[in-house]
Amino acid sequence: MSEDSVSSVVARVRRLRASVVDLAFVCTMLVFVATIAVLSFQYPPDARVFPLLVSIITLPLIGILLLWNVERVSTVNVLPARLRPEDKQSPPSEERLQSRLDTIRVIGWIVLVFGSTYLVGMELSLFLFLLAFYRYEVGLGWLRVGTLSIFIWVFVVAIFTIVLGVPMPQGLIYELLLG
């Protein structure tokens, strides 16, 4: 990806209003609840009655939240005033837009750790994650990076592998090397 395209993606993410992201979150909830409701009909009556009941009660609640978010996004009044949920959330400031990028970055790191576990195993991927995060995100010098990473890694390995005897996944590369 070229620098220009990365910058334009970053700019779009920063311009995205918090209310739009909130709307997307509500839509996701709505889809989940609706899916449960629809899938319920394939089960016997006893097995579906309770989930269906909960879905039927939850759907209009999320529906009202959805309409409220549509109002915020479009600034058109859809709901009667009495039904409009009160919320003190303030509009995003420049600082919060910057924090949105931080949010995406830290989630990216977490997904990367998870993904690399399949490749190199959990112990190694955690150690590499600690080194890389402290160095490139927190901006520490190599001495502090090494100290902190080794300390935390040893603590985690000691507790979970040695004390609790949890067999950490070894990863694809390890399995290939072993045969």
Residue 172 lies near other proteins (rule: CB under 8 A): no
Size of the site for other proteins (CB under 8 A): 70
Q: How far apart (Å, rounded) are the C-alpha atoms in residues 94 and 161?
A: 44
E-strand ranges in 77-131 read none
Nearest to 92 by CA among 13, 30, 35, 26: 13
Q: How far apart (Å, rounded) are the C-alpha atoms in residues 115 and 108?
A: 10
Shortest CB 52 distance to other proteins, Å: 10
Residue 103 lies near other proteins (rule: CB under 8 A): yes
Q: Tell me how crowded residue 127 is: count the other CB atoms within 10 A of its CB.
A: 19
Residue 120 lies near other proteins (rule: CB under 8 A): no
Residues 30-59 as x/- pattern, contact with other proteins by CB under 8 A? --xx--x--xx--xx-xx--xx--xx-xx-
Residue number, 11 or 106, with CB nearest to other proteins: 106
Candidates 106, 162, 172, 173: give the one binding other proteins (CB under 8 A). Answer: 106
Residue 122 lies near other proteins (rule: CB under 8 A): yes
Q: How far apart (Å, rounded) are the C-alpha atoms in residues 96 and 79?
A: 28
Nearest to 22 by CA among 79, 100, 78, 110: 100
Candidates 7, 74, 77, 99: give the one binding other proteins (CB under 8 A). Answer: 99
Residue number, 100 or 146, with CB nearest to other proteins: 100
